[in-house]
Amino acid sequence: MEFKSYIIKTNFDKTAPNARYFAVIGILASILFAIFGMYSISTILFVAVIIIILVAAFAKKGNIQAYQISSEQILLTPASVRIDQKTYKISEVSDIVFVVHSFNGMNYSDSGDYKTSDGMDNYLSFSYMGLTEECRFYLNSKKHALDLCAVLREYYRSKIPIIEKDMNGSRTWLLKRMETKAEFEIFKTRHKIP
């Protein structure tokens, strides 16, 4: 039993942040020209900014996010955690925390707004020899999230102390919130967790 996924890394291509600054400056300049009655220059500048942004996004093939899926992988098994090429025995790590936000395509509510997840806002952190190791990982589907649950279930059964949290920072067990102690006891019995 294992869970394998891609690691999320910072997108070091600065085209997108630079384009944002360019757009803000261009739009502010367009407004300034309009205030001084230079409507034709204002309109031309505004249209030029929009066209340049669209061309840049097309040239970058839509790769304008701050984060991207890397070729590096995370592999979780009941015995170990591997982040890229470095493997940690599960018995040698502590303070294991999983923050599982969502999988790709999942709809969720954020401050009243409905959004669709890209699956890239999931985290794993733990301590190894006094140092904190962290990584973001990708969940591509509901099935992929359930594969993660299968490994988490084995951690619980092996009495490996882990903490799970959801997108709001609330404590979860196998990605579900337990509102009462009775719910938690039923959960433990159902999943054969000591």
Q: Which of 53-57, 106-110, 126-130 has the highest mean pLDDT?
A: 126-130
Quick check: 68 and 8 in contact, CB under 8 A?
Answer: yes
pLDDT at 57 over 90: no
> What does the pLDDT read at residue 1?
86
pLDDT band of residue 133 (cuts 50, 70, 90) is: very high
Strand partners, 132: 127
Euclidean distance between CA atoms 30 and 27, whole angstroms: 5
CATH class of domain segment(s) 3-8+70-190: mainly beta
**So what's the pLDDT on residue 62?**
61
pLDDT at position 64 over 70: no
Note the pLDDT tens digit of each residue in 89-124. 999 999 999 999 999 999 988 878 888 999 999 999
pTM of the model: 0.73
Query: Backbone dihedral region of 111: left (phi > 0), alpha (psi from -120 to 50 degrees) or beta?
Result: left
On whether the CB atoms of residues 98 and 123 are closer than 8 A, the answer is yes
The residue ranges of every structural domain in the chain are 3-8+70-190, 11-59
For every residue of the chain, DSSP letters joined together read: --EEEEEEEE---THHHHHHHHHHHHHHHHHHHHHTT-HHHHHHHHHHHHHHHHHHHHHTTT--SSEEEEEEEEEE-SSEEEETTEEEEGGGEEEEEEE----TT-EEEETTEEEE--S--EEEEEEETTEEEEEEE---SHHHHHHHHHHHHHHHHTT--EEEE-TTS-EEBTTB---SHHHHHHHHHHTT--
